[in-house]
């Protein structure tokens, strides 16, 4: 948040990619000094709207948060300029293995990496690789944490876990965005930042162990931390792995728990299969 007007309404901007069409009418939490303050993104009642002509998406500065304050001074007793705002939409079971929550992107990625590490630790007796796991900061606004950790960890290979678009919904066009379904396994992408030898090795491990995965493409860039890591240190062999996700960057992102499980197991099996001297270098 960056401004409170005379009447105590709060104005804000975005940190990452957010859709202003989804904002009005949402409950939010303003995070202030260890507490969270409930707020509402105000919307004009449908009766009062001028419905002539085409409706444009709102600009962020046209949206405001109502925290029930009577004026600016009262609002600033409860919140401060610079406080972060998140949607107040909880984590819930949609049905069966499908779960809904805000910011599954990329909290589910952090979960999968932690779970893969836990499973790899259980296989440590035969492990030949040194494994470093990182949860990075500020991917959404510049891949900053990945740039730092790619440089400092200097790995022989990097596996990046993020979400990928599930297109198994009526409004997604498979002809434009491919066919990815929830519950059919993680996404292994080819192209741009994905090193062909690393991708091939991941596919081999999946084949050996009967891991179900889906094929994706990154024709230009991956839109993940992989874009920063593969550029470090003269080039790091990198592969981006995706968790199918419906309604990405909305307050109601949906994932399938089996996809998380499968990816954690796949990563752990891959790490366990690596040989001590194995490098992903294309011969000249
Ligand atoms: Zn994202």
pLDDT, one tens digit per residue, over 144-196 is 999 999 999 999 999 999 999 999 999 999 999 999 999 999 999 999 999 99
- CA dist 18 and 171 (Å) reads 18
Handedness of CA 266, 269, 270, 271 (dihedral sign): positive
Distance 250 CA to ligand 1 centre (A): 10
pLDDT at 240: 97
Give the pLDDT of residue 102: 95
| Cβ–Cβ < 8 Å for 167, 177 | yes
Distance, CA of 2 to CA of 16 (rounded, Å): 16
Evaluate if residue 252 carries a pLDDT over 80: yes
Neighbours of ion ligand 1 (CB under 5 A): 105
Find the 196 Cα to ligand 1 centroid distance in Å: 24
Pairing outcome for strands 35-41 and 65-66: antiparallel
Residue 79 has pLDDT above 90, yes or no: yes
**Residue 282 reports pLDDT greater than 90:** no
| Predicted confidence band of residue 30 (pLDDT cuts 50, 70, 90) | very high
How close is the Cα of 105 to the center of ligand 1, in Å? 5
pLDDT mean across residues, the chain: 96
CA 58 / ligand 1 centre spacing (Å):
21
pLDDT score, position 51: 76
> How much is the average pLDDT of 107-113?
98
Largest separation between any pair of C-alpha atoms in the chain: 70
CA dist., res. 228 & res. 184, Å (int): 28
Domains of the chain and CATH, by start: 3-87 (2.40.30.40), 92-273 (3.40.630.10)
Catalytic residue list? 139
Q: What's the confidence (pLDDT) of residue 56? A: 86
pLDDT at 185: 98
Gyration radius of the chain over CA positions = 22
What percentage of the chain reaches a pLDDT higher than 90?
93
Separation of alpha carbons 26 and 87, rounded Å: 7
What is the percent of the chain where pLDDT is above 70? 100
């Amino acid at each position: 948040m960056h401004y409170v007007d005379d009447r105590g309404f709060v104005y804000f901007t975005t940190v990452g990619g957010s859709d202003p069409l989804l904002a009005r009418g949402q409950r939010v939490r303003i995070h202030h000094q260890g507490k969270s303050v409930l707020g509402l993104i105000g919307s004009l009642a449908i009766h009062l709207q001028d419905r002539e002509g085409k409706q444009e998406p709102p600009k962020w500065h046209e949206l405001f948060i109502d925290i029930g304050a009577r004026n600016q001074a009262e609002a600033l007793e409860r919140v401060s300029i610079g406080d972060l705002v998140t949607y107040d939409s909880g984590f819930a079971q949609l049905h069966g293995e499908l779960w809904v929550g805000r910011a599954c992107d990329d909290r589910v990625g952090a979960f999968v990496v932690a779970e893969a590490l836990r499973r790899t630790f259980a296989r440590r007796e035969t492990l030949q690789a040194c494994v470093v796991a990182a949860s990075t900061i500020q991917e959404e606004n510049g891949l900053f944490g990945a740039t730092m950790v790619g440089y400092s960890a200097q790995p022989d290979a990097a596996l990046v876990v993020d979400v990928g678009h599930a297109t198994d919904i009526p409004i997604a066009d498979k002809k434009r965005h491919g066919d990815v379904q929830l519950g059919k396994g993680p996404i292994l992408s080819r192209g741009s930042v994905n090193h062909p030898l690393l991708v091939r090795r991941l596919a081999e491990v999946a084949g050996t162990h009967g891991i179900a995965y889906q094929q994706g493409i990154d024709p230009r860039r991956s839109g993940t931390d992989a874009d920063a890591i593969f550029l470090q240190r003269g080039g790091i062999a990198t592969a981006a792995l995706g968790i199918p996700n419906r309604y990405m960057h909305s307050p109601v992102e949906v994932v399938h728990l089996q996809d998380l499980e499968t990816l954690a197991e796949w990563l752990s099996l891959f790490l366990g299969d690596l040989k001590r001297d194995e490098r992903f270098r294309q011969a000249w």
